[in-house]
Structure 1
Amino acid sequence: MATPTPILDQFLGGVAELVQNRDGAKLQDFLQIEPPLSENYLRMIQELRGGYPAGGPQSDAGLLQRCEALVPRTKGGSSWTAFPTFMKLYFTFLRDVNTDNLLDTYNQLKGLLNQCVLALGDSQMGVVVLPTVLYLSKVLAKLAMGLDRRPELIAHILRMEGGADNDDSIEKVTLVEQSANVVREAFIKCLTDRTGTAGTHGKPEGKRVGIYLMANLCLKLLFQCGKLRNAEQMFASISAQSPPLAHFPAAQRVTYLYYLGRYLFSNNLFYPALIALQAAYDQCHRQALSQRQLILTYLIPCNIIMGRFPSGELLQRPEANGLVEKFEPLCRLIVRGDYIAFREHLSPNSPAAEWFSRKGILLTLRNRCEIMVWRSFCRKVFIHGGFHGDPQAQAQRGPPPYLYLQKLAVATRWLQSQHQQTKLTTYVNHATPNFHFYGSQIISESTDPDFVGLGSPDTPTARQLLEKYGDYLAPDGFFDEGGNWQHNVPGQLIGGNPGADYDGFELDPYADATEDGPEANKQSLLMDEIESILASLLTQGLMRGYLTHRNPRFAIPGARLRGALPTGFPNIWETISTREKEDPSVPGWVRPPPTTFGAPALGGSGGRVVNLSGARPVGVQ
């Protein structure tokens, strides 16, 4: 005699009615899985364990048979076969889930979501489970990110199941990345739905209303696991097939533009990233302070990199609370032009660098802002030591404003000496930091340990070379000319005599680069690097003028009208934004097609450009 299941019968009847009415939102409310569950769900779980026990001979088959009655029948039979299977997995999940085993819970939930995504793919009825797919995706994402932050919770299970293999050459796919792959499949189902008008001209209908809901969740997971490259195809697909973003709710727009801006920022597309992040900030509700602060965390550095610092009014807003002490010192260092203090502020050992590193913007700020620090440094040296032009001289004959690069070299040496004196007072062992001649003459850092002693007049002996470079000169094995691995007797040299073939000059890449060489007129390494930095500034348009090499100078022609400083050191933001505005498009942001005279532009991919420069007035023959 079959065990009575009144709660299960009532639940199945309610689901069948919701499916018939195509009420996806109410269906999602029915299919709850997150604890704590209500009393009715707990009683239904007891009925499932009593009437359809795990491992029973006909338990799963009986559940599937009952779930098949949920789908409306047609003459040719039901085509939505994925939904009964999903419902069967839902009931078995409630019956068998063990929250003490988090890894097993994750795998069961991922299988349930996979089946729900298959049910979503139905062209007629799939839209009914769209809210359920989103709900299950959020639960799976929450569980995966929680386990990612605390891997010790499942480390013992992975060891017992052999999940943590010893092959380090194979990239491990984390739980978060696995979840992102499942959510991406749901995103594809929504994006490729043919309901309504397809392409960028249509409006969201059917499953297409879930495009940005699924995209935002998938992007959140990809950012969590650091696999931003996997988002590139998503943005490309959205650009080609999605309706305009403006047709979707504000919450979806803001979230998508935030992740799009962060993606563009990470790919060094700062101006498009600025447009996306600024739009996200403008459209975000004023009372959503945490979301607005999160956007500002990336919008402010994006502007700083392009030469526009945050105003005092912006930093006084409630959402900027806590950001002032992060970005204001950085802006002051850029204006001050102290490149050594700038590097120390963003060095890995700096207390300020921890927050920037956690937000993923440390390396970008270090690499992109230092050139502006050098510009400020050059500008200050020019103000105090440059020739600004002779107002008494005739405009045609007077020399243009200029700056001797030797003064920049002297200022750089002075700046280094100031920092060295400061370090002397803080050194615990009172050791004097020796200025070295290996590598950059501008980077005031200790000598690389691999090159210590190479500047001494004594050439290292073969034994000394073997002790230091034995793993290269006498390895345990090597590949021969045919690509086959050959074992080597320990201590046996490969490739000749180290004393003859690997002398001090061979191992020292800067052996010939000394300032005390035989060429008296040879420029110093410091001067070479200063010329390179100024050339980079001129190439980027951050400074205007030209360099002379024989008598090293930076000259500013055409400064008679505007003055030397505005001409030679233009506004950084205006320079960059003017150049970037030539292409205002933002990759991944679908906007409504342009209109001409109040009507949509012709063509499927935008409006046609008609050249009217040679057109005659009406009536003219």
Structure 2
Amino acid sequence: MTMSFQGGSVLDRFFTGLAEIVRNRDGAKLQDFLQIEPPLPDVYAQMVDELRQQYPNGSPKEADLLRRCEGLVPKSAGGSAWTAFPTFMKLYFSFLRDVNIENLLETYDMLKALLNQCVIALGDGQFGVVVLPTVLYLSKVLAKLAMGLDRRPELVAHLLRIEGGPDQDESTEKVTLVEKSANVVREAFIKCLTDRSGTPGVHGKPEGKRAGIYLMANLCLKLLFQCGKLRNAEQMFASITAQSPPLKHFPASQRVTYLYYLGRYLLSNNLFFPAQIALQAAYDQCHRQAINQKRLILTYLITCNIILGRFPSMALLQRPESEGLADKFVPVCQLITRGDYIAFREHLTTNSPTTEWFARKGILLPLRNRCEIFVWRSLARKVFIHGGFHADTQGQAQRGPPPFLYLSKLEAAVRWLQSRHSSQSSLSAVSPFGATPNASADKSRFGSQTVSIGKDPDFYSLDGPPAANGSPNISLISKYSDYLCPDGFFDAMGQWQSNPARTLVDGTPNPDYSQYEIDPYAYEPDQDTNGPSPLMREIESILASLLTQGLMRGYLTHRNPRLAIPGARLRGALPTGFPNIWQTIHARESEDTGVPGWVQPPSTMAGSVALGGGGRVVNLSGARPVGVQ
């Protein structure tokens, strides 16, 4: 803060300085004047004392304060056109005079109202750009206060209960302070984005209020990520794509921050390839001394690359910004390469101590759900290397079967993994969070043979032996008493019959419920000794998924189940049947390199096509009439 007031009333000189700033349209100096964040210089304390003496809260003199603020705006022929600014200044002086920082919720409400009015002032087509730096400053202060209260909700919990009142509807979703702040900042973002000064769209440059597009967008995205309302960002990215100038015209700090949030948004929506492009650009453009920022970007960039089949190199993990990341990601990469799907699930299970960091960063589920298919691919590849038929490696035979793998060998490998983990769980070196349920999944008579899924708790009571002497099962009656023992019922003639004793209406229930087909576990699965086992069927489904995604190449035969790899004579069985994952995904995804939400300048090639090929002449003298063959 560089301003100072010497001589005379501090408030008078403050008004004089404000009038000169507005007349000169100096937005940066206006923001420098309008300070609100403590600790404030002593000159503001003097001005607050004068405000309380001359314009007390609730007195008729507050109208005089508003008239005095109206004098700050230059007069035009039709009177003052910027009516929102005097109201904003009146709120600013009221905020300084009345704010009580001990009451955080009241401070938040007053600050939000002040920012709301400043955003309204920003909408003026002639003078609005003057308050753009002030809008950004107030938005940052509001965001800091909201996120601080969000991290410590106990500070305002009692105030929120009082504010909600007894009539508050519990069924409606409560809007947090952070989300309320994001809604206000979004309004400022819209004002900047829809500014009509200069050339609009992708051909324009940051002029006027449009210079604040990404400043406001980045702050709004920060708040939306804080409160977990990423869906609300979808319209923001769509609006930016339609109306924003190219991102390259904005400063590097704004570009890096925006691409970081854009990449995280795309990652959360399972758009991993465009997310990788955005995060890679953010990492490349980030200043080399911004170690913490680069580490944050790298956390999500490595995640995207692993999901796309590209592991981080040791050279990358040895950089200063990668400190601590190798301990997190290298074990995941090793488990994927090993092909042990049970160990992979153990490592990324929800109650594993190693997953707290992944869950806190929001990348646990993408890694666990998207990378397990790579683990199965590694297992199939290892079994093929050691137990598959590789055909003639010299390429001399003109005829012969292609390389293939009997799926019974892959089934045996899966059963070996399950038995290995089952035996480890029975030893002293048991996992601290319990035995591995997936190790015994093949013993389940129902459902998956590789993923252990517990039985539906609604049918636990049906597992016990039939009740002796035909007496009713007490647990059944207590659980379904409203159905078995109602207080009344309609008889066969349609007459209502009371049942005050709550006796069994339909007699003693049959403990064998299989005839009623309400127990999904009542029937034994078909045991066809000549057909494939349930585990074999599941393995075939997994391999079919790999083939469909292009992560493996070949075809499956279901009679004497095999994986065949045709066309392997030129390149070999392994490169043909198990292509590089990253190269496969990149070749498929790179057909469209556009990233949703990232505005790029129009290419010259697209421009020449739009203009008819740059003025080229097309000779149509030999063209046939339409319909002539």
Q: Equivalent residue for 1:14?
A: 17
In the alignment, does 2:179 pair up with 1:168?
no
Residues 366-515 of structure 1 mapped to structure 2, 5 A cutoff: 366-391=368-393, 395-426=397-428, 435-444=443-452, 449-452=457-460, 463=473, 466=476, 469-470=479-480, 473=483, 499=510, 502-503=513-514, 506-512=517-523, 514=525
Residues 248-259 of structure 1 mapped to structure 2, 5 A cutoff: 248-259=250-261
The Cα offsets for residues 23-45 of structure 1, whole Å up to 9 and x where unpaired, read as 00000000000000100000000
Query: In terms of mean alpha carbon deviation, does 163-172 or 314-323 score higher?
Result: 163-172
Q: Equivalent residue for 2:625?
A: none
In the alignment, does 2:568 pair up with 1:556?
no
- Opposite residue 273 of structure 1, the aligned amino acid is A
1:512 CA displacement: 4.1
Over the aligned positions, Cα root-mean-square deviation in angstroms equals 3.2
The Cα offsets for residues 33-90 of structure 1, whole Å up to 9 and x where unpaired, read as 000010000000011111111121x132111011000000011001100000000000
Do 2:185 and 2:220's aligned partners in 1 also have CA atoms closer than 8 Å?
yes
1:497 CA displacement: 8.6
In the alignment, does 2:190 pair up with 1:188?
yes
- Opposite residue 555 of structure 1, the aligned amino acid is A
Do 2:95 and 2:110's aligned partners in 1 also have CA atoms closer than 8 Å?
yes
Residues 2-151 of structure 1 mapped to structure 2, 5 A cutoff: 6-56=9-59, 58-151=60-153
The Cα offsets for residues 489-532 of structure 1, whole Å up to 9 and x where unpaired, read as 99788999964895488344354463xx4532232111111011
Separation in 1, partners of 2:433, 2:209: 69
**Closer, same or farther: CA 429–358 of 1 in aligned 2, 3 Å:** closer
Q: Equivalent residue for 2:534?
A: 525
Separation in 1, partners of 2:334, 2:295: 21
Q: Equivalent residue for 1:619?
A: none
Q: Equivalent residue for 1:588?
A: 597
Do 1:187 and 1:210's aligned partners in 2 also have CA atoms closer than 8 Å?
yes
Separation in 2, partners of 1:490, 1:110: 62
Q: Equivalent residue for 2:495?
A: none
**Closer, same or farther: CA 143–456 of 1 in aligned 2, 3 Å:** same
- Opposite residue 37 of structure 1, the aligned amino acid is L
Q: Equivalent residue for 1:206?
A: 208
Do 1:438 and 1:447's aligned partners in 2 also have CA atoms closer than 8 Å?
no
- Classify the secondary structure of the residue corresponding to 1:200: helix
Separation in 2, partners of 1:472, 1:418: 48
Separation in 2, partners of 1:190, 1:490: 73
Residues 233-272 of structure 1 mapped to structure 2, 5 A cutoff: 233-272=235-274
1:171 CA displacement: 0.7
Separation in 1, partners of 2:53, 2:206: 45
**Closer, same or farther: CA 145–62 of 1 in aligned 2, 3 Å:** same
Separation in 2, partners of 1:62, 1:346: 66
**Closer, same or farther: CA 15–518 of 1 in aligned 2, 3 Å:** closer
Gaps of 5+ in 2: 1-6, 488-498, 621-629
**Closer, same or farther: CA 429–206 of 1 in aligned 2, 3 Å:** closer
1:352 CA displacement: 1.4
Residues 212-231 of structure 1 mapped to structure 2, 5 A cutoff: 212-231=214-233
**Closer, same or farther: CA 527–453 of 1 in aligned 2, 3 Å:** farther
- Opposite residue 470 of structure 1, the aligned amino acid is Y
- Classify the secondary structure of the residue corresponding to 2:156: helix
Do 1:400 and 1:556's aligned partners in 2 also have CA atoms closer than 8 Å?
yes
**Closer, same or farther: CA 495–330 of 1 in aligned 2, 3 Å:** farther
Do 1:216 and 1:256's aligned partners in 2 also have CA atoms closer than 8 Å?
yes
Separation in 2, partners of 1:496, 1:536: 51
**Closer, same or farther: CA 502–611 of 1 in aligned 2, 3 Å:** farther
- Opposite residue 113 of structure 1, the aligned amino acid is L
Separation in 2, partners of 1:495, 1:197: 80
- Classify the secondary structure of the residue corresponding to 1:403: strand
In the alignment, does 2:373 pair up with 1:364?
no
**Closer, same or farther: CA 312–119 of 1 in aligned 2, 3 Å:** same
- Opposite residue 126 of structure 1, the aligned amino acid is G
1:365 CA displacement: 0.8
Q: Equivalent residue for 1:481?
A: none
**Closer, same or farther: CA 97–502 of 1 in aligned 2, 3 Å:** farther
**Closer, same or farther: CA 408–195 of 1 in aligned 2, 3 Å:** same
Separation in 1, partners of 2:107, 2:146: 10
- Opposite residue 24 of structure 1, the aligned amino acid is G
Gaps of 5+ in 1: 478-487, 617-621
Query: In terms of mean alpha carbon deviation, does 147-156 or 157-166 score higher?
Result: 157-166
1:158 CA displacement: 1.6
**Closer, same or farther: CA 437–295 of 1 in aligned 2, 3 Å:** same
Separation in 2, partners of 1:104, 1:497: 64
**Closer, same or farther: CA 431–30 of 1 in aligned 2, 3 Å:** closer
Do 1:238 and 1:590's aligned partners in 2 also have CA atoms closer than 8 Å?
yes
Do 2:221 and 2:261's aligned partners in 1 also have CA atoms closer than 8 Å?
yes
**Closer, same or farther: CA 429–567 of 1 in aligned 2, 3 Å:** closer
1:540 equivalent among 535, 549, 562: 549
- Taking structure 2 as the reference length, the TM-score comes to 0.88
**Closer, same or farther: CA 76–327 of 1 in aligned 2, 3 Å:** same
Separation in 1, partners of 2:601, 2:327: 40
**Closer, same or farther: CA 249–104 of 1 in aligned 2, 3 Å:** same
Q: How many residues align?
A: 597
Do 2:263 and 2:275's aligned partners in 1 also have CA atoms closer than 8 Å?
yes
Query: In terms of mean alpha carbon deviation, does 112-121 or 413-422 score higher?
Result: 413-422
- Classify the secondary structure of the residue corresponding to 1:592: coil
- Taking structure 1 as the reference length, the TM-score comes to 0.89
Do 1:466 and 1:473's aligned partners in 2 also have CA atoms closer than 8 Å?
no
